[in-house]
Amino acid sequence: MTAPRDSGGLHTARHLIRAEAAALAALEAQLDARLDATAQLILDRPGKVLTVAVGTSSHVARRLAHLLSVTGTPALFMHPVDGLHGSLGAIQAGDVVIAISRDGETDELNEFARRAKNLGAAIVVLTAEAGSQLGIIGDLTVALSTPAGADPGEILAMGSTLVTAAWGDALAVTLMERRGYSWDAVLYSHPGGAVGKRAADDSSQSGAPRLT
């Protein structure tokens, strides 16, 4: 039996995956002092970390809040629209807000960031446009570039979303290392699912959980 020939759809799909892979590979060169500065800002501030975004970026922000918490930096996601309807009351001096927007021109997010800053929070911005309204609001703005083609039509936030998520991963592991947050602590807060079962099995066999 002969192998089926690639359809036009498969060609398009493979082209996109190659473009996204190139965007992620290019991120390594963009990791610089701003990552260290963001980690240090979070470590120096006595308050909580909140991640905020709308649209596609909101899923990146939710993921980042989860992974920060898993790795020892307590964090929560807040939707900016909810914030503008009263949840801004949760913001206090000493907090850090990580605001994510590719173009930095989302009105609700920018208004949230302005008000959070006025309430005493430090604003970290992840964006592709450092000169955007959101970028200017930020106390620390990280501009992440994405090669052409990684976002289809330069409209759909696909490759740029992956780049931002990966930058957040790098932040999470950096903070975990600086805090000295142990794998035992990770496992203690993750008793559910396959990870929790694996930890229980390892503990019963050796007396201490392991994660490789």
In tens, the pLDDT along 69-117 reads 999 999 999 999 999 999 999 999 999 999 999 999 999 999 999 999 9
- For residue 98, give Cα distances in angstroms to 16, 95, 117, 164, 184: 28, 10, 11, 12, 27
pLDDT digits (tens, 9 = 90+) for 6-56: 556 799 999 999 999 999 999 999 999 999 999 999 999 999 999 999 999
What are the strands, taking DSSP E only, across 5-66? Answer: 49-52
Q: What is the DSSP letter of 153?
A: G
Q: What is the CATH number of the domain that holds 77?
A: 3.40.50.10490
What pLDDT score was predicted for residue 193? 85
3-state secondary structure of 113: helix
State whether 64 and 141 are in the same domain: yes
What's the Cα-to-Cα distance from 173 to each of 97, 135, 206, rounded to whole Å?
A: 18, 24, 26
What residues make up the domain containing 128?
A: 17-181
- One-letter amino acid at 47 equals G
- Count how many domains the chain has: 2
Q: Which two tokens stand for residue 4?
A: 């089926």
Q: Is position 6 within any domain? A: no
When the pLDDT of each residue in the chain is averaged and rounded to a whole number, the result is: 91
- 201 with 173, same domain? no
Contact 125, 133 (CB under 8 A): no
Do 102 and 74 lie in one domain? The reply is: yes
Q: Specify whether the backbone of 94 is left (phi greater than 0), alpha (psi in -120 to 50) or beta.
A: left
